[in-house]
Structure 1
Amino acid sequence: MKKTFTKIVKAVTKTRPLLGHVHYTNERIELTDSHVAIIEELKTPLENSFDILINLNGVPSVAHYPELKRLVPTDNKNIFVIDIPILETIAKINKKESYIKLESDGTISGQKVGEFEQLDGFEYIAFNPKYVLWLLEYAKESGQKEHITIELDDSAVIPAVVHFEQPETLNTFIITPIRLRDDQI
């Protein structure tokens, strides 16, 4: 199991036991802590149908897991290419802060972290640095070392999405933004 999977599941095992599992079906593997979610869809689903939750100790559960595919925004119009090393440095420096805010000029705290390929009404979005670090760790586990492309809505409250294509899976990482107060904007 990927390190990022373990971190996400561990983060909620005690506080939200249902989410403290990895959900396996013949079509996908998925998990969430309610702030981030990972969905790895098999390009070729397995023939025999199954649906099982397994916790970090390998113990199966019969609980009903939330339907994560419905959380994936499909109309995020803003496409931002992130420089992984720069964003990772900024997220690590600010990991004790409550949020980092990406501005429409491609900066966080005045530091350029990437370029918009497509910009349509986007002003800003804020994320918890811990979840940004999880995203970057997952990106590296998925073979992305330099850049990732994140899809953003023009609203600062719609989750952002990053897609990763692997030889056998199409992977989606969803990260929810933090709502900022007027004095934080």
Structure 2
Amino acid sequence: MTSSLLPEDVIALAQRVVTENAAAGRKLALAESCTGGLVCAAITEIAGSSAVLDRGFVTYSNEAKREMLDVQEDIIETFGAVSPATAWAMAQGALKHSDADVAVAISGIAGPDGGTDLKPVGTVVFARAFRGEEEINAEQKLMDGKTRAEIRRQATLVALELLLP
């Protein structure tokens, strides 16, 4: 049992993220929407996290995505806030506004409301961007959690996996 408010599986994975990125000399940035800062919170639970975590952006509203990460309004209007295009723009914006080598963005529908037939509750999009690379790495997943907390926990675990070197 840890003294953290976060689940043990999240803390264990965050420990790997900090240890492995420190060894690789990589700096990280996060652009979080539906996770509301949980990924950054998990990383900062780990002693030594300041060696790897440059910064995190909690951009829950569309306005915050535009203002803090330079996500273009037409991307959100055309594809929606929960889309690979928006998540990719969020990850790119996190790199632009940080000194990080890699950025991960998370946007999703944690519920219990807000889902549609095309994007049901539990739909979460992840994007990872590396400084100096143009390749798009974005993926939409359907979390199988039954509660808002479980969906957010699962999304946090996926994001942490994406931060491993």
Say whether the fold is shared (TM-score over 0.5).
Answer: no
- Report the structure, 1 or 2, having the larger strand content: 1
Is the radius of gyration larger for structure 1 or structure 2? 1
TM-score normalized by the length of structure 1:
0.25
- Report the structure, 1 or 2, having the larger helix content: 2
TM-score normalized by the length of structure 2:
0.27
